[in-house]
A and B are shown apart, each in its own frame.
Chain A
Amino acid sequence: MREKELEKLKDYKYGFSTDIENFKSPKGLNEEVIKFISKVKKEPQWLLDWRLKAFNRLKVLKEPNWQKPKYPKIDYQDLYYYSAPKSFKEKPKSLDELDPKLLETYKKLGIPLQEQKRLNGIAVDAVFDSVSVATTFKDKLTEKGIIFCSISEAVQKYPELVKKYLGTVIPITDHFFATLNSAVFTDGSFVYIPPNTRCPMELSTYFRINASDTGQFERTLIIADKGSYVSYLEGCTAPMRDENQLHAANVELIALDDAEIKYSTVQNWYPGDKDGKGGIYNFVTKRGLCKGINSKISWTQVETGSAITWKYPSCILQGDNSIGEFYSIAITNNHQKADTGTKMIHIGKNTKSKIISKGISAGQSDMTYRGLVDIFQKAKNSSNYTQCDSLLMGNKCGAHTVPYIKNKNFDSTIAHEATTSKISEEQLYYCQQRGLNSEEAVSLIVNGFCKEVLQQLPMEFAVEAQKLVGISLEGSVG
């Protein structure tokens, strides 16, 4: 049995689960559960009201069905909406009090929480199932006035900031999964960068789903005040389980005048086994608002995991001269399905956006790029450039491109290019002739194909992502 488990872990090294006692909410989705979550988190009345408002809205909403990957109906009453390690009933004051099992888990994942052991200067907020377990480098950040903590903590300590911005980019009435998240969100990160501050280190959140039958609904809110800069990273893993698990997060970014937010994701949720059994449903809503003039939001994502990925990190370019960017690599193998892309909404004058999307599908997987570029009538002198390339490996997979392009302003220019191809025999031959075996050759070519996006990632992440690209495609050639 154990050997079998180990065999499986070869493919997905984050697939272990931590045997830890959990404290869960009652199963199901109803008002009681929402009140329960709110009570456990000692939330103020306004937030509970907000959640209930979302829940009421949810009752009339239907799940969207326009996406390409179809999935079996999710029984929302058969899920736990809150799960936390038992030792968290009272939040530990410091890392020393943290359950050693948890520390062990994060060590295995390569994310040491004890700061002294760390060499690279990245502040981490680790989220385990429904709660944030630790945030590192807090003191150093506080010195600069930067707030980096879990959102539950922010609700307690900085209610006026949370109240002012929560739900302004993704309103509670937005769509089914966003509304569901608003009703039952459990934890996530909160970042506030004060005016004219450059965040001295990368901020990072690490999400881990551990308990079974749990949905993870986290909420991240990042506010960059005037003239500030922040680079934020996000990573995710989950244990291997035969049933599908739901992950429906909401991420809101707000950039005020002259501020810049760089948001990078390496998503490596458990993708399911070779026959398409199990894996995470990753239905995430990510949206950034360039509220101020000269603001900039840049999304970079490397999507290799999840059974179904369904997300469109978007930019609303409201401020004049604001810039939105989207760099994406999405890789699907075996039975994975991805429907991902972006939306660039140009409202302000002189706004610019750039979309570079690279999709690679192998095995029997299916990949769709779906994007919207919308230039409003008042968005004078705006421009967009889009490039989406797809690479197909094998003849059982699919690659699709569905761009929506709307230009209502005659001063603006939109350019869109897309290609679909496979790795040519010549390229492979050239590499093999120089002593690479076929897998190395494919890995090299694919990395070259993705270079434009990989370059956008912060150093530490780029190395990891590059390896991930290679691993995800193992066994897909031959």
Chain B
Amino acid sequence: MEKKIITDFENTFKNSLLNDEIKYRKDFLNKFIETGFPSKKIESWKFSDLNQIINNHIEKLIFYNDIKKSYQIDETIYLKNLEHNRIVFINGKLEETKLDHEDPRKIKILKETKIERNNLHDNALINLNNAFTINNYTIYIENNYNVKKPLIIYHITNSELNSTNINIQLNISLGENSSLKIIDLYNDNSKKNFINIYYNFDLKKDSVLKNFKLDNLNNDNIKYSFNNIEQDANSISETFILSSGSRFIKNEINCNLNGKYSSAFVNGIFSLNEKKHHEIKTNINHLVENTKSYQLIKSVLDNFSKAVYQGKIYVNQNAQKTDGYQLSKAILLNENSEFNAKPELEIYADDVKCSHGSASGSLNDNSIFYLRSRGLSYKEAKNLLIKGFLLDVIEKITDEEIKNIIKIMTGLSK
């Protein structure tokens, strides 16, 4: 792989970057080559051996990207029943930004080709991203500005793409007392690609971020999405993950609660069948006093699917009065499905309220019996129970409009 990745790297950026920039990126590349794709030997990849998954599924991964090439947008895939702003990535290239509903002085998108050198990371995939991402975009939102309509980021891949690695990097900076809703929508017509997405959020005082990551359409790609969230005092972050469509996806969230009274919410649904293997990993770091976090993950697993939830709550020594909660529940529908969990607490302060719970099993026989005795068929009863089980998570969404869209998308509306 080593030779291939270096030539791919040189071919990709040959005529487009300054020598200095290439030099910076090479550091990341070398670091990545040193470690390779993470394998199960690394604790955080214990349940999902990415190296093996890529080797088995993609066989030969291409790192080369033709950055001059542009793609036609198929407008039919835009979400119709929701007024929104949009950013469109096609095959990893930014093709359109449209912020029609907003005040252009208050929200800006900047483009950079330079990658900060001090970003050298323990996470191999972020190093890979830093080396190969075409541009580094930053969305700035001014103080006291509430972005009016949701911003949808379309991640589109078309059938021209095959066995290729794509890296997207986005920084989002929310000024004081501002708010933003982001929907990540995946739409894939490609096969066997490895898509690596890295978001970096910076939430200033009193700001509110809502991020909905919706991977709903069946596709044959392997994805890794990493959200790093830095939160100042009184800020709120709410992340909702719908994990359902891809062959493999790992959503990782690292949230640092740096300011007092800040809070983080993570809600997730795994709805899997076939041979899908999905993972959610969270790292919530309570670093100062009076912070709060809440996590709820529910899974419904059919056929040969496998879901993994690794959630960690870390409480620093001076983070007194922390309130941390974590719950994961799974229904296994088939004898070949599998659920793995590692809900972890690491606590160094004594005046805290932290708890976690995890449960997994099959559908409750008594509930099925209850419904059948009232005239429902087995299939209806089963569907009703699953629907109720998952709706519990969706009801946690605090934005009515988006909640309804997600209900329709998942087939859980009335």
* Interface set of A (CB-CB < 8 Å, partner B): 66, 377, 390, 392-422
**Which of the residues A400, A403, A410, A416 comes within 8 Å of B332, measured between beta carbons?**
A410
Q: Which residues of B contact A395 (CB under 8 A)?
A: 317, 320, 348-351
Known: A405-B358, A420-B355. A410 touches B334 (CB 8 A): yes
- Minimum C-beta distance from B122 to chain A (A): 16
Residue B20 at the A interface, CB < 8 A? no
Known: A399-B347, A401-B345, A404-B342. A414 touches B359 (CB 8 A): yes
**Which of the residues B332, B336, B341, B349 comes within 8 Å of A405, measured between beta carbons?**
B341
Chain B, 297-331, CB within 8 A of any chain A CB: 317, 320, 330
Do the beta carbons of A414 and B360 come within 8 Å of each other? yes
**Which of the residues A408, A417, A422 comes within 8 Å of B350, measured between beta carbons?**
A422
Do the beta carbons of B354 and A419 come within 8 Å of each other? yes
Q: Which residues of B contact A404 (CB under 8 A)?
A: 340-342
**Interface secondary structure of B, over-half rule:** strand
Q: Mark B209-228, 1 if CB is under 8 A from A, else 0.
A: 00000000000000000000
Closest 6 pairs (CB-CB, A-B): A413-B361, A410-B332, A392-B350, A416-B358, A401-B345, A405-B341
Residue B188 at the A interface, CB < 8 A? no
* Interface set of B (CB-CB < 8 Å, partner A): 43, 317, 320, 330, 332-362
Do the beta carbons of A392 and B317 come within 8 Å of each other? no
Q: Which residues of B contact A66 (CB under 8 A)?
A: 43
With A397-B350, A407-B340 already in contact, 5 other A-B pairs whose C-beta atoms are closer than 8 Å? A400-B347, A405-B343, A407-B330, A414-B361, A420-B355
**Which of the residues A396, A410, A412, A416 comes within 8 Å of B333, measured between beta carbons?**
A410
In chain A, what residue has the closest Cβ to B326? A418
Once the chains are docked, how many angstroms separate the CA of A390 from the CA of B346?
11
In chain B, what residue has the closest Cβ to A375? B360
- Minimum C-beta distance from A240 to chain B (A): 29
Known: A411-B362, A414-B360. A398 touches B340 (CB 8 A): no
Q: Which residues of A contact B356 (CB under 8 A)?
A: 401, 416-418
- Minimum C-beta distance from A394 to chain B (A): 6
Do the beta carbons of B355 and A419 come within 8 Å of each other? yes
Once the chains are docked, how many angstroms separate the CA of A155 from the CA of B338?
44
Do the beta carbons of A422 and B351 come within 8 Å of each other? yes
What are 22 A-to-B residue pairs whose CB atoms are below 8 Å? Answer: A394-B350, A395-B317, A400-B345, A400-B346, A401-B344, A403-B344, A404-B342, A405-B339, A406-B338, A406-B340, A407-B338, A409-B335, A410-B332, A410-B337, A414-B360, A415-B357, A416-B357, A418-B355, A420-B352, A421-B352, A421-B353, A422-B350
Known: A414-B360, A416-B357, A418-B356. A402 touches B347 (CB 8 A): no
Q: Which residues of A contact B339 (CB under 8 A)?
A: 405-407
Known: A377-B335, A404-B342, A410-B337. A398 touches B348 (CB 8 A): yes
In chain A, what residue has the closest Cβ to B358? A416
Q: Which residues of A contact B362 (CB under 8 A)?
A: 410-413
**Which of the residues B334, B342, B343, B350 comes within 8 Å of A418, measured between beta carbons?**
B343
In chain A, what residue has the closest Cβ to B306? A408
- Minimum C-beta distance from B300 to chain A (A): 11
Greatest chain B CB density within 10 A among A390, A403, A405 is at A405
Once the chains are docked, how many angstroms separate the CA of A412 from the CA of B355?
23
Once the chains are docked, how many angstroms separate the CA of A394 from the CA of B352?
12
Q: Which residues of B contact A402 (CB under 8 A)?
A: 342, 344-345
Do the beta carbons of A403 and B346 come within 8 Å of each other? no
- Minimum C-beta distance from B334 to chain A (A): 6
Known: A394-B350, A395-B320, A413-B359. A420 touches B335 (CB 8 A): no
Q: Which residues of A contact B352 (CB under 8 A)?
A: 392, 420-422
Do the beta carbons of A420 and B345 come within 8 Å of each other? yes
